[in-house]
Amino acid sequence: MLREGQGLNDPNKVRTLVNQALPTWQWTRDELGVEWNMDHLVQEGGHSVPRCAITGNGSGSAIVTKQIAKCKELGIPLRTRVFMETIIRDTDGRVKGLKVREGYKFRDNTSGRVKYIRAKKGVILCYGGFGADVAYRMHQDPKLTDKFQTTNQPGATSEGWREANRIGCQIIQADWIQCGPWNSPDVKGMGIALYFAQSAAAMFGIWVNCATGKRFVDELANRKVRADAVINAANKGQLCIAVANKEGIEMMQQIHHNILAKQLERGVVYEFPTLKAMAEKFHIPEAALQKTVDEYNAGLKAGKDPLNRYINKDCKPMVNGPWYCSKLSPKVHHCMGGILTDMKGRALDCTNDKPIPGLFAAGEATGGVHGAVRLGSCAVLDCLVNGRICSMEVMG
């Protein structure tokens, strides 16, 4: 994390995150009842080896549904359609509560019934990123115009960020915004093509520039390196695709069960009987593509990848069809910056760098954990570890 964060992340926060990874995973299993795939570890972008645990259904929903169930079991009410309009900070500097709108209609910030909620012990801000707010993200990075889609849900907007700023929170590194390199232009939002591009092609196949028929990036490099490579090709009018054959598909489906049928049905993954047919479809120089595959296979045999990619022990030479591919088009995915907090999760004041009494923050709303690049799988860990730290601090 420190290497890929390029010196922008707080070493103490990184150390806390990694030291709490195992006990937090055990907590999700033993206390929440989350089911995990115990047969496979995944290698997400930027990791040097496969080390990422994956849930039984291959999705973060397996964690969230168990959290919701636990809240119901404990009698904790979850309020939906509630818009946080104002964080109430008193003249003594302490955050005393919130002004909200219940029955809020999305995008109409004047809708709903105004209500005031007093915070007896504290307020924890976990409002996520602003990937769906084009205007606000362009304030931070003018390159991220509306030509870039986002993987985020429509509510990933900037109201929480602006309000935290207004009451004096120290905001850092907000211009470090990550694009997911494995997304497809064939679907709006996150979609399911990424599971092929990452779990089949990046780990057990190759990524290819259609104009040259060659690989153009280490498929397991961090997300910024890969997204920048795809974007640079797109700026030249070149399409890039993720490629795997049946062996890669088999590995993907051990993690994401029976997903290929859905990918094919939705038209986000393409199937071909031969490599030649794929080359014809996407106007790829056939000889160059075949040479690229041959060089990749030779690298597997020699134990040395031509682009120095980590070679998974389950990788097999790509020889026989059917062959599969998905188009690549990076989308805005994660905001690495946010509220600066101390090691107890307390939000710091921009005027004196001291904790704002009664205010805490965790997850994508904060900065300093990931630095320049967030590694795959570490966002969920960030939310769980630092969310628990904040909660235990608030409850005493």
Please give the distance of CA 209 from its chain centroid, rounded to a whole number: 24
First-to-last alpha carbon distance for the chain, in angstroms, is 30
Whole-number Cα distances in Å, 381 to 24, 143, 375: 8, 29, 11
pLDDT for res 298: 98
pLDDT for res 394: 96
**d(C-alpha 150, C-alpha 157), whole Å:** 11
pLDDT for res 203: 95
Task: Map tokens 């302490």 to a residue.
Answer: 94
pLDDT for res 10: 97
With 0-12 / 13-18 / 19 or more C-beta atoms within 10 angstroms meaning exposed / middle / buried, residue 393 is middle
Whether 63 and 387 have beta carbons less than 8 Å apart is answered as no
pLDDT tens digit at each of 396 positions of the chain: 999 999 999 999 999 999 999 999 999 999 999 999 988 888 888 888 989 999 999 889 999 999 999 999 999 999 999 999 999 999 999 999 999 999 999 999 999 999 999 999 999 999 999 999 999 999 999 999 999 999 999 999 999 999 999 999 999 999 999 999 999 999 999 999 999 999 999 999 999 999 999 999 999 999 999 999 999 999 999 999 999 999 999 999 998 989 999 999 999 999 999 999 999 999 999 999 999 999 999 999 999 999 999 999 999 999 999 999 999 999 999 999 999 999 999 999 999 999 999 999 999 999 999 999 999 899 999 999 999 999 999 998
HEC string of the chain equals: CCCCCCCCCCHHHHHHHHHCHHHHHHHHHHHHCCCECCCCCECCCCCCCCCECCECCCCCHHHHHHHHHHHHHHCCCCCCCEEEEEEEECCCCCEEEEEEEECCECCECCCCEEEEEECCCCEEECCCCCCCCHHHHHHHCCCCCCCCCECCCCCCCCHHHHHHHHCCECEECCCCEEEECCCCCCCCCCCCHHHHHHHHHHHHCEEEECCCCEECCCCCCCHHHHHHHHHHHHHCCCCEEEEEEHHHHHHHHHHCCCHHHHHHHCCCCEEECCHHHHHHHCCCCHHHHHHHHHHHHHHHHHCCCCCCCCCCCCCCCCCCCCEEEEECCCEEEEECCEECECCCCEEEECCCCCEEEEEEECHHHECCCCCCCCCCCHHHHHHHHHHHHHHHHHHC
Verify whether residue 223 is a known catalytic residue.
yes
pLDDT for res 194: 96
pLDDT for res 45: 82
Contacts of 208 (CB under 8 A, 6+ apart): 214, 215, 216, 240, 241, 242, 243, 284, 289, 292
- Catalytic position from the list 137, 223, 226, 346: 223
Residue type, position 87, single letter: I
How many residues in the chain?
Answer: 396
pLDDT for res 48: 87
pLDDT for res 43: 86
pLDDT for res 218: 97
Q: Please, what are the domains in the chain?
A: 11-78+121-179+332-395 (3.50.50.60), 79-120 (no CATH), 182-329 (3.90.700.10)
pLDDT for res 58: 87
**d(C-alpha 176, C-alpha 334), whole Å:** 9
Please give the distance of CA 247 from its chain centroid, rounded to a whole number: 26
